[in-house]
Amino acid sequence: MDPGIRPLNGYADRMSVRPGETIRFHVSCDGPATYRAGIVRLHSADDNPAGAPFRSIPVETPVDGPHEGRAHVIHAGSHAVVPASPRLVPADAFTLQALIMPTTPQMGRQGIIGTWSESDHTGASLVVGDDGAAGLVAGNGHASVVATTGEAMVAGAWYRIAATFDPESGTMCLLQQALDTGPPVLRRIAVAFPPVLEESRWLMAAWHRDAGDGRGYHVGCFNGRIEAPRVACRAFTPDEVIIAGVRPAAPSVRDAILAAWDFSRGIDTLAFEDVSGHGHHGTLVHLPERAVTGASWSGREMFWRHRPQDYAAIHFHDDDIHDAGWPESHAWQVPEGTPSAIHALHVTAGDAEDFIPFAVVPPRGRRTSDVCFLMPTATYMAYANSGRHFRNDTVEMKQFRATVMTRDDCFLQAHSEYGLSTYDTHSDGSGVSLSSRLRPILNFRPKGRVWGLVADTHITSWLEQASDGFDVVTDEELDGEGLAVLEGYSVIVTGSHPEYHTASMLDALKAWLARGGRLIYTGANGFYWRIALRQDLPGVLECRKTEGGTRSWVSRAGESFMSLTGEYGGLWRRSGRPPQQLAGIGFTAQGFDRSTWYRRTPAADDPRAAFIFAGIDDEIIGDAGLVGGGAAGLEIDRADTRLGTPPHALVVASSEEHAAGMLVVLEELTSNQPVIADDHPLVRADMTFFEHPGGGAVFSAGSIAFGSALPVNGYDNPVARLLGNVLERFRDPEPFTMPALARPRAEPGG
């Protein structure tokens, strides 16, 4: 099979579902005429022969059986839509204008605002031309013409652009003016025929082209920022263009203005307002970025809510995607009594297959076990279709090895319309701050890299061995329902990499611990990035990569506050909530070449920690594992009382002998300095335990690779025994008692 081909792809309308609710699936079958589908319970997602191993069990449902295959495509590219209206059709003369900051003017023609249809050659649109200059394209119903100013615009600079048509003189006038330098460029052109202006929806950042599938209607997506778009029913002079852009209600222009959109209003929505009084409001499609600086931003204000007029722009991208929009292929109403577990829709056609994972969570207000696995779906969304393996030119330096491309990597390299992760940059180089799960997410699949879901099933498959059952709850329930969804659980077990959290998620965990909960944090680099989720916009995650932190791109100046909620973005550490405050440890180093082990510390002999090492005499813990050969690797956390590790916390084991590729994270460094991994005091994973004042406790492993050491030797190994000891004691209702003397046990880490 060609490595760039995936005959089967799909997604679900949700990542979790309760008994009695319905989950819907959307499948594309590219090639085969038919495929088979069925629901499976996913026990272990790793297909490594040395792994758990891979295991799924069919669940009898009405979905089972053969189905007709249909191929679907994704029409990506963010844009804006204004419904058709007879009041928005100029009778003959017109002006189209906007402020724009093009970011890829060299990439060819791109739509700005208008009704031009490539399919039927009608309408007119203001565009970036093939030569990178401002222009107008118009059609008479039979053919189209395009003209530009002839002077290419500079990427990243703000321009005032306009196109006017005067039927009396039979000419169009094009205006292009850089806002910071130089006189305007004006070009007058004789028009061979007047454009046919019909009643049609208006598009911004794209133009019309019918894809013939009932869904695709736009192409020519614009990369860059648009501000203050206007439509008028006469040909404005250059001075009137300026007036209309700044004051559309000014007496000299207001009677001619048909629509004047103000993007500074409703920044936290997918809607935008027409302030002309004509009611031509519109909707944003495919999640363009809002709360971005506009043409008048001066740097005096950094928060868009304090001065929204400085944030009156929207940044559009040709590779944005929100909802793939595929038709429904299957629906499953989960029967009452279905056990909580990780499931998947499994589709096959010959040798091709795909899995669409989801969690069945307990009924609202109920639990079926005292143990809960908190499935880090926000982290899965943040990494959705991450292309850093083939888009990042420094990835091999970070990994200290050659990049290994998977079939899915090859497919995504050829299909940017499947969308990006918050670790990627758009085609114009700007960072991806918004991610959606309403599309196929190829790295949220079994049988892939041991990261994310695959690594987390090492933990859940161990839980099946070590307990008499557990519930699964996802980040979306935690964010939406807060403490209520955690009530009644004695133990919460995290995934290997619970990195992304909202304020409500952290608040719920903190409150649950205060009531006596016991937290087992099996991973590392957790509770790290602050994100925004919205219950009225399900499936969308926002993360601004601001100021500090280990990240693949950095938010532009003035754009640290998230558009969905207005909260400050970036690291939780920079919002005064370092992960050490919750879990006792926090991100300290990362390296992807190999994993090492833990060595017990003197604190392991403290009577308070005796239950952790019951039946374990080994000095070395975790010198075998499915990721890098050990239990301490990839990304690691350490204790630090200055950042919130409780003074009475016990660091019962620490990792050692990391390779030179294990580097200290950026937020720990105040200046460039050499880092020697094998003796740097900050390069270590701290296995930590502490009692909580509410009678509960926290055990933290400190390594992403820790969970993947659990299945070694059929779950019979020191790591599995140690975690089993912790789980057994944490399920015991006997309250933990705070020590009389709270002496710091961890190195200060400075």
Distance, in Å, from the CA atom of 685 to the CA atom of 240, rounded to the nearest integer, reads: 65
Q: Give 743-746's long-range contacts (Cβ < 8 A, gap of 24+).
A: 743/647, 743/648, 744/641, 744/645, 744/647, 744/648, 744/649, 745/603, 745/639, 745/648, 745/649, 745/650, 745/651, 746/638, 746/639, 746/640, 746/641, 746/645, 746/649, 746/651, 746/686, 746/688
Dump strand ranges (E) for 321-405: 330-333, 341-349, 352-360, 371-375
pLDDT tens column, 574-627: 999 999 999 999 999 999 889 999 999 999 999 999 999 999 999 999 999 999
Answer whether residue 743 shows pLDDT above 80.
Answer: no
pLDDT, tens only, 268-286: 999 999 999 999 999 999 9
Q: Which residues contact 74 (CB under 8 A, 6 or more apart)?
A: 321, 324, 325, 415, 417, 418, 419, 439
User: Is there a contact between 158 and 179 (Cβ–Cβ < 8 Å)?
Assistant: yes
- Give me the CATH number covering residue 302: 2.60.120.200
**Per-residue model confidence (pLDDT) at position 745:** 44
The torsion defined by the Cα of 319, 321, 325 and 328, in degrees rounded to 10, comes to 120
CA angle at 665 for the pair 474 and 435, rounded to the nearest 5°: 35
Do 89 and 114 fall within a single domain?
Answer: yes
Residue 515 and residue 632 in one domain: yes
What pLDDT band is residue 401 in, cutting at 50, 70 and 90?
low
Cα 428 to chain center, whole Å? 18
- The confidence band for 741, taking pLDDT boundaries of 50, 70 and 90, is low
Average pLDDT over residues 130-145: 95
The answer on 669 and 572 residing in a single domain is yes
Report yes or no on 1 lying in a domain. no
Within a domain: residue 63?
yes
For residues 105 and 33, state if they share a domain: no
Query: Is 379 inside any structural domain?
Result: yes
> What pLDDT is recorded for position 400?
63
In a domain, 3, yes or no: no
- Based on the fold, state whether residues 693 and 566 are members of the same structural domain: yes
* pLDDT in the model for residue 671: 76
CA angle, 114 then 120 then 122, to 5°: 40
Residue 563 lies in domain: 372-731
**What is the sign, positive or negative, of the torsion defined by CA atoms of 658, 709, 521, 433?**
positive
What CATH number did the domain enclosing 51 receive?
Answer: 2.60.40
Residue 192: pLDDT band with limits 50, 70, 90 = confident
CB 639 within 8 A of CB 574: no
Q: Which residues 6+ apart lie within 8 Å of 733 measured at CB? A: 490
pLDDT of 367 > 90? The answer is yes
What's the average model confidence in pLDDT over 291-299?
96
Please state, in angstroms and rounded to a whole number, the distance separating the CA atoms of residues 419 and 72.
15
Say yes or no to pLDDT of 440 above 70: yes
Round to whole Å and give the CA distance between 547 and 550: 10
By the 10 Å C-beta count (0-12 exposed, 13-18 middle, 19+ buried), 557 is classed as exposed
User: Which band of pLDDT confidence, cut at 50, 70 and 90, is reported for residue 5?
Assistant: confident
Cα–Cα dist 67/26, whole Å? 12
Q: Which pLDDT score, from 0 to 100, does residue 750 have? A: 41
676 with 583, same domain: the answer is yes
Nearest-angstrom CA–CA distance, 111 and 128 = 6
Return d(Cα 50, Cα 626) in angstroms, integer.
Answer: 7
Report d(CA 446, CA 452) in Å as an integer: 10
**Which residues are paired to 399 by β-bridges?**
none
Q: Is the peptide bond before 53 cis (omega within 30 degrees of 0)?
A: yes
Could you report the per-residue pLDDT of 499-532, keeping only the tens digit for each? Answer: 999 999 999 999 999 999 999 999 999 999 999 9
CA distances from 239 to 160, 162, 168, 295, 306 (A): 12, 11, 20, 18, 30
Share of the chain above pLDDT 90, in %: 85
Residue 6 has pLDDT above 50, yes or no: yes
422 within some domain = yes
Q: Is residue 322 part of a domain?
A: no
- Which amino acid makes up residue 412? L
Residue at 28: amino acid letter: S
pLDDT band at residue 552 under the 50/70/90 scheme: confident
Instruction: Based on the fold, state whether residues 286 and 353 are members of the same structural domain.
Output: no
Q: Does 391 lie in the same domain as 258?
A: no
Do 114 and 12 lie in one domain? The reply is: no
pLDDT averaged over every residue in the chain: 93
- Asked if 552 contacts 284 with a C-beta cutoff of 8 angstroms, the reply is no
Burial-class residue 1 by CB neighbours within 10 Å (0-12, 13-18, 19+): exposed
- Using 50, 70 and 90 to split pLDDT, how confident is the model at 164? very high
Number of structural domains, the chain? 3
pLDDT at 686: 98
141 Cβ partners below 8 Å, 6+ apart? 120, 121, 122, 196
Q: 């100029």: which residue's tokens?
A: 90
Q: Residue 323 domain-assigned?
A: no
Split at pLDDT 50, 70, 90, the class of 749 is very low
Question: Measuring CA to CA, which residue among 169, 164, 172 is closest to residue 189?
Answer: 172
Burial 470-500 (b: 16+ CB within 10 A, else e): bbbbbbbbbbbbbbebbbebbbbbbbbbbbb
Q: Is residue 189 part of a domain?
A: yes
SS3 annotation, 271-315? EEEECCCCCCCEEEECCCEEEECCCCCCCCCCCCCCCHHHHCEEE
Looking at residue 238, what DSSP letter applies?
Answer: H
In a 13 Å sphere around the CA of 710, the CA atoms on its Cβ side amount to 31
Does 146 lie in the same domain as 55?
Answer: no
Residues 398, 340 share a domain: no
CA atoms within 13 A on the CB side of 680: 23
The closest of 573, 350, 540 to 439, measured between CA atoms, is 540
The answer to whether the CB of 31 falls within 8 A of the CB of 368 is no
Q: Are residues 382 and 431 in the same domain?
A: yes
In this structure, what are the phi and psi dihedrals at residue 416, rounded to the nearest 5 degrees? -65, -20
Query: How would you write 438-449 as a 3-class SS string?
Result: CCCCCCCCCCCC
The answer to whether the Cα torsion of 304, 305, 310, 312 is positive or negative is: positive
Mean pLDDT computed over 110-139: 97
pLDDT in tens, 566-586: 999 999 999 999 999 999 999
